Amino acid sequence: MNFEDTPIGGVIIVTPEPLADERGFFARIWCSKEFSARGMPADMVQASISHNLNAGTIRGMHFSWPPSKEFKLVRCERGRIYDVVVDLRPDSPTFARHFAIELTDEGRVALLIPPGVAHGFQTLSANSDVLYMMTDYYRAELADGVRFDDPAFNVRWPRPVTTIVERDRTYRDFDALDHRRKFERALAAA
């Protein structure tokens, strides 16, 4: 596997190295030894799949408050998605900045997303499947999000939105000062 840093600290592009022959190819997409050797999380405890019927569907932008230590490894298993992360870690030099990448079933690239970074995507093809591997168990009381079109982040989605749930469409406007305070309180309580 190849590991490539992005402009958002801790967000890593993970690219498999396929071994091809007349049958097709074989590629490792996860190895705790390789991840831990690079100082990245090595223990995944949950995996989920997101099936998306329509092109233009948006899911996100989701994150978890401390004490969650959830890293996500996200890969598009079928179709194409425009994957976006927003840095919501108040002490980060890239706080409130975003990074986007197209993930496809052909490229097989994955994105490693650290705790405190919001994640979302827009499907670029119908019937897209997205695989998530997580290092922490989901806790509904820590789950939150920011609006996909919040002007604070200036994300330019590539397609018109065709499908989005009310929760993702109606998060309130992002307030950086309020977020910093809530983050600090959550850390202190952890």
- CATH number at 170 reads 2.60.120.10
pLDDT for the residue numbered 186: 93
| CB atoms inside a 10 Å sphere around CB 99 | 19
Reading phi first (left if > 0) and then psi (alpha if -120 to 50, else beta), residue 57 is in beta
Instruction: Give the C-alpha separation, 29 to 15, whole Å.
Output: 8
pLDDT for the residue numbered 138: 93
Q: In the block, which residue shows the tokens 């197209």?
A: 102
- Which residue out of 51, 62, 98, 137 is catalytically annotated? 62
- Which residue out of 82, 98, 132, 179 is catalytically annotated? 132
pLDDT for the residue numbered 42: 85
Query: Which residues are CB-contacts of 91 (< 8 A; sequence separation ≥ 6)?
Result: none
Over residues 84-142, the pLDDT tens digits come to: 999 999 999 999 999 999 999 999 999 999 999 999 999 999 999 999 999 999 999 99
Reading phi first (left if > 0) and then psi (alpha if -120 to 50, else beta), residue 20 is in beta
> Does the pLDDT at position 146 exceed 90?
yes
Over residues 8-65, the pLDDT tens digits come to: 999 999 999 999 999 999 998 899 999 999 988 889 999 999 999 999 999 999 999 9
Q: Is 138 a catalytic residue?
A: no
Strand order in the sheet with 110-113: 2-5, 12-15, 110-113, 72-78, 128-134, 46-52
Query: Which residues are CB-contacts of 160 (< 8 A; sequence separation ≥ 6)?
Result: 56
Strands 12-15 and 72-78: unpaired
Number of structural domains, the chain?
A: 1
Q: Which domain holds residue 185?
A: 2-189
Q: Is 132 a catalytic residue?
A: yes
